[in-house]
């Protein structure tokens, strides 16, 4: 198909080809397919991007889409670990600036955000960063990268916190704690002016509950009694509390002894077969239960969720009514 920048500039608007070459991570195949069609309106380049490319951008970007070599994507699917790395790096690149106090999350996705902070400090792109870690694991990783560390006792206000999540529902309520650090994570992230959540698309769900068990940190004393009380809570109808065994760092049984958190407590993973009708009510009822230290519901906390998918990284933000409620 013969087409050049000059022909794009002179073609009638109704005959201009629209192509998407402006979103980082957007597959070149999409740009080529778009360029091969004549459209009467702007092209929506993937539901994930929600990005419209007007005709005025074609002259600048279409030639690139048509002249770059074709790359076959068959057998080149991006791994989940690569998606986690991409979104972890993106969060630091977009939201961390020199001189900030940064909350560092815990988990397989947050690991890459910590790694990126260390890289940018080493290269000089970032300076004077102070970080507050949310677990011993994160503390050790950050220290090994030369990141200056503090606690909320000395740094009571955070500019930004970056962390992953195990489930994200349609209104950006979260379930966290698969790594057993949700108590410290919540203390730190509730203090941040901006809380950036980083996930891959596998963590998105319509409703919390069946997608991932809800971790609840409880004191070891009479933990079975606490589990019975939790099971009877009205907002948690149908849940089955399961004591986490082995490592606290994951909810897969890898030992025979109760998992112990950094705070010396146990974890009950609440398993659901049906969606939780009201996560906020569930959070309130858990919080008022004697024996519960902290639960894994993070409701109305996320400032933005960065999602890594096959077509690139995109943002999701809270509904407007939630933003107003936080003023």
300 and 168 Cβ atoms separated by less than 8 Å: no
pLDDT in tens, 4-21: 333 333 444 333 333 333
Question: Could you give the CA distance from residue 251 to residue 236 in angstroms, rounded to a whole number?
Answer: 19
Domain check: are 255 and 219 in the same one?
A: yes
Does some domain include residue 255? yes
Domain termination residue (choose one: 67, 88, 110): 67
**Residue among 185, 184, 183, 242 at smallest CA distance from 213:** 242
Does some domain include residue 306? yes
88 and 110 Cβ atoms separated by less than 8 Å: yes
Q: Work out the mean pLDDT of the chain and round it to a whole number.
A: 82
**Residue among 103, 314, 30 at smallest CA distance from 199:** 314
- What is the CB-side half-sphere exposure of residue 239 using CA atoms within 13 A? 32
Among all residues, which ones are annotated catalytic? 185
Question: Could you give the CA distance from residue 223 to residue 207 in angstroms, rounded to a whole number?
Answer: 28
Q: What's the domain range around 59? A: 5-67
**Residue among 48, 24, 45 at smallest CA distance from 35:** 45
pLDDT in tens, 293-303: 999 999 999 99
Structure tokens at 41: 């309106």
Does some domain include residue 72? no
Does some domain include residue 134? yes
pTM (2 d.p.):
0.76
Does some domain include residue 74? no
pLDDT in tens, 174-208: 999 999 999 999 999 999 999 999 999 999 999 99
Domain check: are 135 and 33 in the same one?
A: no
Domain check: are 225 and 288 in the same one?
A: yes
Domain check: are 238 and 304 in the same one?
A: yes
* Helices 80-95 and 110-123, packing angle to 10 deg: 50
165 and 197 Cβ atoms separated by less than 8 Å: yes
Does some domain include residue 180? yes
Domain check: are 162 and 15 in the same one?
A: no
Number of H helices, E strands in the chain: 10, 16
Please calculate the CA angle 103-105-110 and round it to the nearest 5 degrees: 125
Q: Return all residues near 250 (Cβ < 8 A) that are at least 6 apart.
A: 178, 179, 180
pLDDT at 86 exceeding the cut of 80: yes
Domain check: are 60 and 110 in the same one?
A: no
Question: Could you give the CA distance from residue 122 to residue 134 in angstroms, rounded to a whole number?
Answer: 22
Domain check: are 182 and 216 in the same one?
A: yes
pLDDT at 287 exceeding the cut of 60: yes
Ramachandran class of 275: left when φ > 0, alpha when ψ lies in -120 to 50, beta otherwise: beta
Domain check: are 46 and 120 in the same one?
A: no
How many other C-beta atoms lie within 10 A of the C-beta of residue 219? 15
292 and 285 Cβ atoms separated by less than 8 Å: no
Domain check: are 137 and 168 in the same one?
A: yes
User: How many domains are there within the chain?
Assistant: 2
pLDDT band at 292 (very low <50, low <70, confident <90, very high): very high
pLDDT in tens, 29-81: 344 444 333 333 333 333 333 333 443 343 333 333 333 333 333 346 789 99
Domain check: are 143 and 285 in the same one?
A: yes
**Residue among 109, 111, 59 at smallest CA distance from 87:** 109
Tell me the three state secondary structure of residue 253: coil
């Amino acid at each position: 198909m013969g087409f050049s920048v000059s022909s794009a500039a002179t073609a009638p608007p109704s005959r201009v080809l629209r192509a998407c070459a402006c979103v980082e991570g957007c597959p070149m195949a999409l740009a080529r397919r778009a360029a091969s069609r004549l459209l009467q309106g702007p092209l929506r380049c993937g539901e994930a991007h929600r990005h419209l490319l007007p005709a005025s951008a074609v002259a600048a970007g279409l030639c690139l889409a048509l002249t770059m070599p074709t790359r076959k994507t068959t057998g080149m699917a991006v791994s989940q670990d690569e998606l986690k790395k991409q979104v972890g790096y993106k969060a630091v690149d977009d939201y961390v600036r020199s001189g900030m106090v940064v909350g560092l999350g815990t988990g397989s996705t947050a690991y890459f955000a910590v790694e990126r902070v260390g890289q940018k400090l080493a290269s000089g792109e970032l300076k004077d960063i102070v970080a507050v870690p949310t677990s011993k694991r994160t503390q050790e990783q950050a220290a090994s990268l030369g990141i200056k560390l503090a606690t909320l006792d000395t740094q009571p206000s955070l500019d930004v916190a970056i962390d992953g999540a195990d489930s994200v529902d349609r209104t950006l309520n979260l379930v966290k704690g698969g790594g057993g650090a949700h108590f410290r994570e919540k203390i730190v992230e509730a203090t941040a002016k901006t809380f950036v959540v980083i996930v891959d698309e596998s963590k998105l769900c319509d409703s919390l509950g069946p997608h991932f068990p809800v971790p609840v940190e409880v004191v070891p004393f009479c933990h079975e009694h606490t589990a019975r009380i939790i099971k009877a809570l009205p907002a948690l109808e149908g849940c089955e509390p399961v004591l986490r065994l082995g490592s606290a760092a994951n909810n897969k049984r890898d030992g025979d002894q109760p998992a112990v958190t950094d705070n010396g407590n146990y974890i009950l993973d609440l398993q659901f077969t049906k969606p939780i009708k009201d996560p906020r009510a569930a959070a309130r009822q858990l919080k008022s239960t004697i024996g519960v230290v902290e639960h894994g519901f993070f409701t109305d906390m996320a400032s933005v969720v960065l999602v890594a998918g096959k077509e690139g990284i995109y943002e999701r933000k809270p509904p407007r009514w939630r933003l107003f409620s936080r003023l």
